[in-house]
Structure 1
Amino acid sequence: MASRAGDCGACGAATVFLGNRRGCGDCIPANPAAGGPGRAGVSCRAFWKPSCFPHQGVWILSHWAIGIDIGGTFTDLVAIDHASGCQCSLKILTTHEDPAAAVLDGIAQLMARHGIAAAEVHRVVHATTLFTNALIERRGARTGLLATRGFGDIVDMGNERKYNLYDLQIERVASLAPRDLRAEVDGRLNAAGQEIEPLDIAQALAEVRRLVEAGVESLAVCLLHAYRSDVHERRLQAAIAEAHPDLAVTLSCDTAPVIREYERMTTTLANAYILPMAGRYLASLAQRLGALGLPQDILMMLSNGGLAHLDHARSHPIALLESGPAAGAISAAWHCLREGQGDLLAFDMGGTTAKLCLVEHGQPSVAFGFEAARRERFAEGSGMPINITAIDLIEIGAGGGSIAHRDALELLKVGPRSAGSEPGPMAYGRGGEEPTVTDANLLLGYLDAGYFAGGTLQMDADAARRGFETLGSQLGRSAAEAAWGVLDIVAENMAAAARVHVAERGRDPRNFVLVATGGGGPLHAYSVARKIGVSTIVCPPEAGVASAFGLLVATARADRSRTFSFQPASGDLAVLERSFAELEHEVSGPLLALSANFGPLRLRRRADGRFIGQGFNLAVDLPDGPYRFDDPAGETAWRAALDQAFRQEYQRKFGRMPPDVAIELVNLRSTGEAVPLRPFEPAALQPAAVPEPRSRRSVFFRETGAFVDTPVFRREQLGSGFEAHGPLLIEESSTTTVVGPAARVRLSAQGNLVISIEETAA
C-alpha cells in the first residue's frame, strides 16, 4: 500500500492507493464488489468505471479535467481522468455569434456520453481564437489612445519599414485608435525615467473626458519612456479611475515595459481593444460553467504555452492571442517525449489554418513578439507587432476550409480565403458554393462522409464532386485531377514554408520527426513529410483534438520583461541582480496562487543582447542567479559567464562574431514554470490481435496515379504492436491518418501511430 498526495473525497483523510483502488484506508470498502459504506457510514466517492480499464472490477475516485479549444471551424473538447487514465473527446462546430454556446453544448454532450458528474470535474482549462479574430475582423471596443505630447501619431508612422518595397500604393495596417480618438498629454520623462516636465493631470482629464464623450469605452495609456519609470502612467490611472470608474484602462508599463515606442504602443492598444470583450466573455463563460456545477476558476492557456488564472487573462487578454496553436505544440512535445523523441516539427492543421513549430529537446521554440492581423497573410511586417512571449509558430498554408479557385492567370490556387465553419465546405451542406481542401479529401476517398467528426456532421459527397467538376472544367481537368492538384498545392506550400523556417534556425528538417495534429494534420502529413525529406511521422491519439489535450498537460507559466541596459564588462552586477529579483517576484506571484495544483516553481533568466552599435537584438539564456560574489575572482567569473552566454548563442546562430566588440544586454526577461503536481498517465494500451479492416474504399494516391482499393481501420480497434504496410487509412472520431504506399505504420505502446517512410522523393 502506497500513499500519494491528495484527500479522500468522502472523509478528507490522506488518499491511499491499493492497487487500482483509490480512497482513504477507512473508506475503501473491504469488498469492492459489495460497494459497502466506509467509516462512520460515509459512502466513499469511489465509483464503478469498468469501461476505463482493460480489466473489470476496479474501484477508483474520479478526478476529471476538461480542456476546451475554440478554433475558427471547430470547438474541441477533451476530458481526462487522472485516476483511471481515461481520455474522451468531442468535436463540435464553433458558434461564432456566441462561442460559449458551443462550449456549453459540447461539455453537456461530453459529460452525458461518458457519465461524468459535475462534482468529479476539478479543473477546466480554456484556449480560444476569439480575441485574435476580434483584432482581424475589427470587432473590439471603441478604443482611445493617450500619448505624450507630440507622439500621438507614432501608430501611423510605425517603424518606417515597407513589407513590399515595390508597391507604391502600399497600405499599412490601420491603427486600432483612429486619429480623432487619440489625445496627447503634457508631461515628460527622459530616457533615464527622470521627470523633466511635470504631468498636467487636469489637462489629461479634460482630454479623457472628450474621448469618453466620443464613445470610447477602453483607453490605452502609452507615455514616453514609461518602460523606465511608471510614475506618470500610474498617476494618470488613479486620476482616470476616480473620474471615470467604468472606463477600461490599459497601461503600457503593465503590458509591454520594453523599448521601441511603436511596438509598445501597438501592444498596449491591442490589449485595450479586446479588454472589454475579454472581460465580458470570460465572466459569462465562468458563470455559465458554474451553472452546470463546474469550477468557475478557469485556467487559461497563454501564447507562451503555459497556464494562468482567469483573472490574469481578464486583465491581459493580449497574452491569449496564440493560445490554441501553442497548446498544439505542447501536446506534440508531450507525446513525443513519451516515445523518446525530443527533436520534432509540430505540424498542426485545423479547419482554418495550419501552423508549424520547431521543438528541440522537448521544448517548443519561443519568440518574444509576433504580428497580428496582417494585411497580407504571409507578408512579414504587414501586421501589428505584439510584444508578448509566444510559442514561435509559423502559419504555413491552408486549412480544411481553404477555398480552391482559378486565378486571373488561369492557374489553380488554394486560399487565402476560407469557408470556415459558416458556411463551410460544400460538403457541409450549409451554403458553401466553392470547393475546399476538405471537399478534395472527401472526393479522393481520404474522408468518410458518414464518419466525419465522429459522425456528428454528415457530409454530402455529391456536393463536393459537383464543386470539383466545375473547377476541373475551368482548368481542363477531371474532378479527381483538380482535387489532387489542390492537395498537392497545399502540401507543397506547407513544405516550402517548413524548409525555410527550419533553415533560418540553422537546422536540417531531415533530422526531425514530424508530429501531425489537428483535424487535417494526419491527413496531409504523409505528403508533406515526403516533400521535406522527413522519414518518421508520429500521430498521437485523438490528434484532431490535440490542442485541447495540450491544455491539460501544460505547465503553469508566467513571463515578465523590462528594459534595462547593462554591459557585462563594466555594469553594476548588484543593480542587475536587483532588477532580476524584482522581475522574479512579479513572476512568482501568479504561479504561487496556483500552487495547490502546480509546483515546484522553477525560474529562468533571459535577456535580449547585442553588440554595441547593432540595431537588432538576440534573445539568449543567461546563467541562473543570484549574481552575487565575495571577491574579485567571483565578480570576474560572473561577468565572463554573462558575456559568453551571448557570444556562444551568437556564434551558434550566425556562425561568426565581430572581433573585439563589447556587448550590452538591453531587455531583461524572467520566466517561471511550475509542472502539474499530478501528471496525467494514460491507461496502458493492451496488445491485441490484428483486426480485420472496418471497411474498404477507393482512395487516390499520387504514387499510383489512380484510385486504389484501400483497407480502412478504426483506431480504437488497434492494439499495441499493430503493424502494417500502406496504403491504408486509420480513422478516429476527430481525424483520419493516411499511410501511403511508400510507408509502414505501427502502433506504439504509448498509443502513438508511428509512420516510417521508406523513400521520401515527392
Structure 2
Amino acid sequence: MTSSTYSLGIDIGGTFTDIVVYAHETGRAVSHKELTTPAAPHKGVLAGVSRLFQREGLDYACVTRVIHATTLFTNALIERKGARTGLITTAGFRDTLEMAREHKYELYDLHIELPKALVPRHLRLEAAERIGPDGSVLTPLDEAGLLAAADQLVAEGLQSIAIVFLHAYANPVHELRARELIAARHPGLFVSISSEVSPQIREYERSVTTVANAYVKPLADGYLDLMSEQIRGLGITAPLFMMLSNGGLTHVEEAKRVPIQLLESGPAAGALAGAFFGERSGIEDVLAFDMGGTTAKLAIVDGGEPLIAHQFEASREKRLTEGSGLPISISTIELIEIGAGGGSLAQLDAMGLLKVGPESAASDPGPVCYGRGGKQPTVTDANLILGFLDPEGFAGGTITLDTAAAEAAMAPMAAQAGVSVPELAWGIHSIVNENMAGAARVHVAERGHNAARFSMLLTGGGGPLHGCEVARRLGTLKVVCPPGAGVASALGLLMAPARVDRMATVARRLSRIDWAELDAAFAVLEQDALGVIAATLSDRSQPARIVRSADLRFVGQGFEVVTELPAGPYDAGTARAVVEAFDSLYLKTFTQTPPKGEVEIVNIRVAVSAQASASKLDAGAAAAPAAGQAVASSRRRIWVGAHKRYEEVPVFQREALPVGFEIAGPAIVQEASSTLVLPAGSLTRVDGSGSLIVDLTNSIQKDASTAQHKNKASEATERDKQCA
C-alpha cells in the first residue's frame, strides 16, 4: 500500500480495538483487529497500529490526521470507576440527585433498583446564593462559604468538583465566579460548571450531566494526554481528533473540556458508516446494525441522515430498560442498545430456560474458544460450533479458535437441557437474534416507522454473522454488507465532519418573543461554535453548515419536540413559519395534534458542522474487482437453521468476488474482519461499490411456507387422533 498521505482511525471497543488506515491518493483502506486491553487501553492501540503499519509497510510520517473513538468513559460510568467527585450546589438543593424524577421504570417491582448517584450525600455540599429564573441575582454568592465547602471536599481527597447552581442557565455569573475562586485556591482541582456543560432548564438532568462530566474529566484529561504522547512516540506528528456522540469530531482540548460529549463516540461512528455505505449503494433508508464482541447497537438512518437525540441514558440498572439509567443531556446520534455481543454469556436459569447475556466475557478472559481462561459458553463459542467461524482465520488470523474447548464447555449445559451440543448452540444463536430483533422492532415502531421499508446495513465483527437472521425476524427484505464490515465503525471515524452543538434556554411563549433578540441569541451560539470549528479544522472543503432548531411545545405540556427552524434573520413574520414547522413535526411524531393552543420555545439550539478535505472518502475505496467469475475457495460444514442439520456449503473469500457476482444461500462469505452468513433461500449480489446486497424475499417466504405446511400437518394429525 503506497500513498503520500494517510488518515488513521482508532476505535476501542469492549472486546476488540479496530485500526483502519485510509490512503487518500489510492482510495484504499487496510485494517487490523487487536484485542482490547481494558486495564491500559492505549497498549492495545499501540500494538494494533504497530502491527498494521509493519504488515502493510506504511510510513508513520505520512499520516496527516488521527481520529479516535473509545468506550473508556462510558465504561467508567457503568463500572463506577471514575474520579472521586464532589458537588457544590445552591443551599437547599443538596438532594436533587437522589430525588430525581420520582419515576419508577417498573411500576410493580417492589425491589426496584433506582440509578445510584455518582456523588454520595456526604460529598454534596451547599453554598448560599440564588439566581432567579429570569437571570436576576436574588442572593449574592457567599464566597467565603463557597471556599470553605471546596476546602472540605479537597480534604476528602477529591480530584474533581461539579458546581450546579439554581438557574445558572439563565445567568452563569455565580458559577463562573465560583470556578475562578476555586481555581485560585486549588489549582490542581478539576472543576465542571453546569452553565458550560448543560446550560438548560430541568435541574435534575442538568445536575446529573454536570456531575457525570466531572466524574470522567480527570480520566479523560490523563488518557487523552497519554494517547497523544504515545501516538507521537510512534513518529506520527498529525493532530489527534476525538469522535463525539453527535457524529462529529473535535480537537483534543475541547474534548478534555467537556468529555461527557464522548460517551457514545464509537457507536456514532458506526451510524455514520451505515449512512455512507447505504448512500454508496443508492439506499437512503437504513437500519445501521452494529454488533461487536460486547454489545449491539442500532441506529435509524432516514433519508440518508442518522437521527439525532438530545438526551440518552448511561449506566442503566437494567441494561435494556428505559428509565433505569442516568439521564445525560448531550446531543447524540440516536442509538438503541438492542442486545448482546459475541462475548455474551449463555446459561440455564432456575427453570431450565436458556438465557443469553447481558453479562459478557469481553476480551478478558473472553469466550472459551479464545483459550484465555474463559469457562462459560458464549455467543462466539456457539457460532464456532455451528461452523460459522473459521478457527484459523478469525480476526484476520490474529486469534486461533479452539472448537473442542467450546464444545466441551457447552456439553454439560446441553445435557442438562436434554439437547445435543449443536442444537444448544443454535438455540443460543437464535435467542440472541430474537432479543435483538424484538428490541429493534419496538425502537423502529416508537419512531413512527415500519421496519419493512428499511434495508439493514451490517457492521461490526458480529453484524454479518447475525444480521440476516435479525433482518428476517424484523421482516426486512434487503441486507447490505459493506466491504470491511468488521471495522466499519473505525472507517466511519474518517468520514466524520467537525461538529459542534450549542444550546441555551429561552423559556418564552412565541407571543412574547422579541424576534431580533432571539436572532441575536442564536448568533452568539453560532459564533461560539464556529470558533471551535476553526480550532478543529484547518482544511475545510466547504463553508460551515449551520442548522438552527428549538425545543417547542404547546403551553402546559411537560416535554418538547425539537424542531428545525428557518436560518434567519428573524422578524415578526417568522412566528408563522415556526408554528407551521412545529405543527408538521408534531403531527408526524404523534399522528395528531391537540386542540390548538399557544406554542412556546423552551430551548434554542445550533448545530454547526464542516467537512475536512481529508474526510472525503473515495467511493472506490475497497471496491470489488471488475466483473468476472469467482469460485468458492472451500466448503465448510455449517448448521443450516432452516433444515436443522449440518450441511456442506460453499465458502467465498470476499476480496475475490467481482462486481455482479451472485451467491445463492446457504453460503459463507469470509473476510479478515468479519464473516457473512447467508441463510437458505437468500440471493446475494455484489454491487458496483463492492457491497454485498442480500435479498431475503425467498428466504422469508420459504419460512412462511414451511410454517404453514407444519400447521396443516399438525391439524391433519389432530383430526386423525380424533377419528381414532
Distance 2:255 2:567 in 1: 28
Report the structure, 1 or 2, having the larger helix content: 2
Q: CA RMSD in A?
A: 1.1
What SS is found at the alignment partner of 1:527?
Answer: helix
Mapping 1:472-487, distance limit 5 Å: 472-487=414-429
Q: Could you tell me which residue of structure 2 aligns to residue 699 of structure 1?
A: 638
Contact 1:347 1:357 in 2 (8 A): yes
Q: Could you tell me which residue of structure 2 aligns to residue 645 of structure 1?
A: 581
Distance 2:544 2:491 in 1: 23
Q: Could you tell me which residue of structure 2 aligns to residue 258 of structure 1?
A: 200
Q: Could you tell me which residue of structure 1 aligns to residue 607 of structure 2?
A: 671
Q: Could you tell me which residue of structure 2 aligns to residue 448 of structure 1?
A: 390
Distance 2:492 2:607 in 1: 20
CA displacement at 1:373 relative to structure 2: 0.4
CA displacement at 1:701 relative to structure 2: 1.3
Match of 1:751 among 679, 690, 709: 690
Q: What do the CA deviations read for 1:421-471 (whole angstroms, capped 9, x no partner)?
A: 111111001111111100010000000111100110011000111122221
CA displacement at 1:100 relative to structure 2: 0.2
Q: Unaligned 5+ residue runs, structure 1?
A: 1-48, 53-60, 629-634
Distance 1:290 1:379 in 2: 42
1:180 aligns with 2:180: no
Distance 1:304 1:485 in 2: 37
Distance 1:339 1:164 in 2: 42
1:604 aligns with 2:547: yes
Q: Could you tell me which residue of structure 2 aligns to residue 618 of structure 1?
A: 561
Q: Could you tell me which residue of structure 2 aligns to residue 680 of structure 1?
A: 617
Amino acid at match of 2:680: P
Q: What do the CA deviations read for 1:641-672 (whole angstroms, capped 9, x no partner)?
A: 01111111001111111122111110111001
Q: Which moved more, 1:98-107 or 1:678-687?
A: 678-687
Q: What is the number of equivalent residue pairs in this alignment?
A: 697
Distance 2:102 2:550 in 1: 26
Q: TM-score, normalised by structure 2?
A: 0.95
Distance 1:342 1:355 in 2: 19
Distance 2:96 2:31 in 1: 47
Q: Could you tell me which residue of structure 2 aligns to residue 507 of structure 1?
A: 449
Q: What do the CA deviations read for 1:695-746 (whole angstroms, capped 9, x no partner)?
A: 1111111111111111101111112222121111011111101111111111
Match of 1:231 among 158, 168, 173: 173
Distance 1:250 1:283 in 2: 19
Match of 2:285 among 337, 343, 350: 343
What SS is found at the alignment partner of 1:593?
Answer: helix
CA displacement at 1:688 relative to structure 2: 4.6
Q: What do the CA deviations read for 1:391-448 (whole angstroms, capped 9, x no partner)?
A: 1000101100001110111101101111111111110011111111000100000001
What SS is found at the alignment partner of 1:574?
Answer: helix
Q: Could you tell me which residue of structure 2 aligns to residue 116 of structure 1?
A: 58
Q: Could you tell me which residue of structure 2 aligns to residue 37 of structure 1?
A: none
CA displacement at 1:182 relative to structure 2: 1.1
What SS is found at the alignment partner of 1:707?
Answer: strand
Q: What do the CA deviations read for 1:63-104 (whole angstroms, capped 9, x no partner)?
A: 100000000000000000011111100000000111000101
1:714 aligns with 2:653: yes
Amino acid at match of 1:670: V
Distance 1:402 1:685 in 2: 33
CA displacement at 1:296 relative to structure 2: 5.4
Amino acid at match of 2:633: R
Distance 1:360 1:383 in 2: 27
CA displacement at 1:333 relative to structure 2: 0.5
Q: TM-score, normalised by structure 1?
A: 0.90
Match of 1:741 among 674, 680, 691: 680
Contact 2:553 2:559 in 1 (8 A): yes
CA displacement at 1:246 relative to structure 2: 0.5
Distance 1:500 1:573 in 2: 40
Q: What do the CA deviations read for 1:296-345 (whole angstroms, capped 9, x no partner)?
A: 52111000011111111111110000000000000011011011111010
Distance 1:722 1:295 in 2: 43
What SS is found at the alignment partner of 1:563?
Answer: strand
Distance 1:417 1:660 in 2: 49
Amino acid at match of 2:556: G
Amino acid at match of 1:713: F
Amino acid at match of 1:234: L
CA displacement at 1:567 relative to structure 2: 2.5
1:372 aligns with 2:314: yes
Mapping 1:620-635, distance limit 5 Å: 620-628=563-571, 635=572
Q: Could you tell me which residue of structure 1 aligns to residue 722 of structure 2?
A: none
Contact 2:498 2:537 in 1 (8 A): no
Q: What do the CA deviations read for 1:609-629 (whole angstroms, capped 9, x no partner)?
A: 11000011111111111214x
Amino acid at match of 1:309: H
Contact 2:241 2:252 in 1 (8 A): yes
* Aligned sequence identity (%): 48
